[in-house]
Structure 1
Amino acid sequence: MRSLLLGLVSLFLLISCSEEDVQLKYTLRGRAQGTTYSIVYMASAGKDFHTQVDSILFEVDRSLSAWNPNSTLSKVNSGELDSVTDPLFITCIQAGQRISRETGGAFDMTVGPLVNYWGFGAEQRGELDSAVVDSLLKLTGFYNLRMGSDGKLIRPKGLKIDVNAIAQGYSVDLLAEWLDARGISNYLIEVGGEMKARGVNLEGNPWIVGIDKPSEEIQEQRFQVIVNLDSASLATSGNYRKFFVDSISGIKFSHTIDPKTGYPARDRLLSVSIVTSSCMDADAIATACMVMGLDKAKAFVQSRSDVEAYFVFGGLTGDWEVWSTEGFDAMVH
């Protein structure tokens, strides 16, 4: 009887361990922040985190959405709030200000009034007028925005914050931290094209991701390059899909605003892809490089041992050309 009991206990333990060891593939998809998200991860049975993921993204929206009138960001920009306790907002602003300093102001969240004026924010585009641009430019400058340790914002009247170039990367980081805290060590997270990967896929291979060609429309052969992404984040910024053409001048204006001029950035750079540990940093640095232009962006990424980069730019003959760091080349699949 004792032998039978021990045998049953051993069988139960074996089955329990086997069920815990079996890794299932979970794929979560949905919409958030005016775009889509996709998360693939490996975990044992009963770990479908769709509801929790949606809750995290809802909190980000409640904090940082320019389209939600009740978000912390909207209340700050309307002047309703001068002091904040929202930890997501505080973390995002502090990170953005750090990256502004690191990039010499090429990344600047205070371009909010200009983003709205050019029609790339939550407001309708106005008539193009250089005098208006000059007046709005006076309301910007990351050095004019400070946040005290108590969350109090110090800024001139009229300064508005735009986090579109950092919020999606921040969302990816938050989701990754949440999965890490629950022992999920193999995942690929993507929000609006910004990504973070850790570990391997179900087949035990590194995660493979593609970077889109800088075309206005998605082509059948859509990827410019395919890379292995392991324990890193990837963010891409480009001027090839978010733009408008002025009906009078015929000039094409892209969504990346140069904080120094107040006008959309114009350069040979078509797209910038950045790989680093933080997706929030990768997101903001990619935008900063688009503002810097090809030569300054090359010098910047080469000065950073923690950053890899892949640039697509217009050659002198009109054809696309590419430039990348050695570390990025080693990632190419």
Structure 2
Amino acid sequence: MVKQRIYLIKSRCLAAAFLFSSKHKLNRFFVIAALLALVSCSQGTRHHEFSGATMGTHFRVLLTQLSGADIESLPGIEQAVQDELASVSQQMSTYIESSEISRFNKLPAAECLPVSEQLLHVTRTAMEIAAASGGAFNPLLGPLIERWGFGREHGTFVLPAREEIEMLRKTIATENISFGVAPARLCKHADSVALDLSAIAKGHGVDRIAALLERNKLHSYLVDIGGEMRVSGLNKQLKLWHLAVEAPERLTKAGEAGVASLLRLTSAAVATSGDYRNFINHDGQFYSHTLDPETGTPVTHQLASVTVIADSAMRADAWATALLAAGPEQAIALAGQQNLAVLLLKRSASSIDKAQPPADWQPGQGDWYSWSSPEMQKYLVTPG
């Protein structure tokens, strides 16, 4: 799922650098990760940042509180990060024909493929969240994503017939794949099944880079891959990291970008998924890139974006996708059942709806309102 714009804000700095990256996955839309400028801050510490391309988007790593020995090791760290991301892509990218996941998708029914422990781990986690979310998260949506025009092929859009959708829905049942652990393997039980981990793999990549940094005794950092973020330690001003979640542009007046909420955190991961960046407008009808696995069609509810904070970017990524697909009422229920730190932004359906928001929803500055779980509220701060 493509990530909503997120700004990374640091106080008392003279400038900020903005990284524009696109999230090529289940729900695709642009991400802004606004990082500290490369200028010095009066109370800052030694820091280093580097970036590059990976998995159809961009990554950025910002390291703070560096010692002299840390700085000397940076060339090796940068290469190790590149190598780790290349490994993730070779395991989980459907855009690489020789990747493990692509080779699995080409298998005929009743066959198994030996896979890496990492691919097995991510697939098992995806299946666990699919079950925990009541099917709102589904890693087998690939054929439907392609048919609706949000996959690799981008030809002239033709609205799928109901019969075609129902035929494709038969391929997304999670019992169509299974796995083994000794040795690690994935097995396919229907020819047309296609595993798609784009709603979880980039978060997994963030976690792997964070683990690499920790192994090298670098404990103060921000890692961002296409909008999936994980932070640890302190920023350059020796303060907690501050993130601002942007109100979706489609919801604000005159196309102006606005800040919906500010977050303050460390030693955590955050992911935001929304529906306003990647969509199809066909004959005046808006089709969201977020698909409802229950119907096989784009969602039509008023939930515009979901932000999740978790202990891993992989889980934050997957749950943000799941809750966006589930819709506002089910998202609130799942947040409670799973004890998730969640921020929801929902469109007001009418002027009456805006004037009288539902219980527990707070009016926003645009034509939307927000809801946050008790677990999220400890991260929310007042702008200013």
The normalised TM-score by structure 1 is 0.87
- Distance in 2 between the 1:315 and 1:203 partners? 38
2:162 to 99, 107, 130: 130
- Could you tell me whether the CA contact under 8 Å between 1:217 and 1:241 is conserved in 2? no
Q: Which residue of 2 aligns with 1:77?
A: 105
Structure 2 spans left out of the alignment, 5+ residues: 1-43, 352-366
Q: Which residue of 2 aligns with 1:50?
A: 78
Kindly, what percent of the aligned residue pairs are identical?
Answer: 28
Residues 1-333 of structure 1 aligned to structure 2 (within 5 Å): 24-42=46-64, 43-44=66-67, 45-48=71-74, 49-79=77-107, 82-124=112-154, 127-128=158-159, 129-149=161-181, 150=183, 151-216=185-250, 221-247=257-283, 250-305=284-339, 307-317=340-350, 319-333=367-381
| CA offsets 1:32-55 (integer angstroms, 9 cap, x no match) | 111111111123221322222111
- Distance in 1 between the 2:118 and 2:323 partners? 25
- Could you tell me whether the CA contact under 8 Å between 1:66 and 1:121 is conserved in 2? no
| CA offsets 1:224-271 (integer angstroms, 9 cap, x no match) | 222112111111111110111113xx2211111111111112211000
Q: Which residue of 1 aligns with 2:18?
A: none
Structure 1 289/210 Cα, relative in aligned 2: closer, same or farther at 3 Å?
same
- Could you tell me whether the CA contact under 8 Å between 2:251 and 2:368 is conserved in 1? no
- Distance in 2 between the 1:294 and 1:143 partners? 27
Letter in 2 for 1:55: D
Structure 1 220/29 Cα, relative in aligned 2: closer, same or farther at 3 Å?
farther
- Distance in 2 between the 1:176 and 1:84 partners? 27
Number of matched pairs: 309
- Distance in 1 between the 2:151 and 2:175 partners? 22
Which SS does the other structure have where 1:83 is aligned? Answer: strand
Cα offset, 1:30, TM superposition: 1.4
- Distance in 1 between the 2:300 and 2:321 partners? 13
Structure 1 spans left out of the alignment, 5+ residues: 1-21
Cα offset, 1:143, TM superposition: 2.7
Cα offset, 1:220, TM superposition: 6.5
Which SS does the other structure have where 2:277 is aligned? Answer: coil
Which SS does the other structure have where 2:222 is aligned? Answer: strand
Letter in 2 for 1:74: S
After TM superposition, the structure 1 stretch with the greater mean CA deviation from structure 2, 295-304 or 82-91, is: 82-91
Please state which structure has a larger fraction of its residues in strand: 2
Letter in 2 for 1:29: S
- Could you tell me whether the CA contact under 8 Å between 1:117 and 1:124 is conserved in 2? no
Which SS does the other structure have where 1:60 is aligned? Answer: helix
- Distance in 1 between the 2:327 and 2:166 partners? 22
Letter in 1 for 2:275: N
The normalised TM-score by structure 2 is 0.76
- Distance in 1 between the 2:264 and 2:212 partners? 23
- Give the greater-gyration-radius structure (CA): 1
Cα offset, 1:162, TM superposition: 1.1
| CA offsets 1:87-128 (integer angstroms, 9 cap, x no match) | 221111111011111111110101111011111112335622
Structure 1 281/159 Cα, relative in aligned 2: closer, same or farther at 3 Å?
same
Q: Which residue of 2 aligns with 1:8?
A: none
| CA offsets 1:288-326 (integer angstroms, 9 cap, x no match) | 111111011001102223x20100001233621111123
Cα offset, 1:217, TM superposition: 10
Cα offset, 1:222, TM superposition: 4.6
- Could you tell me whether the CA contact under 8 Å between 1:65 and 1:71 is conserved in 2? yes
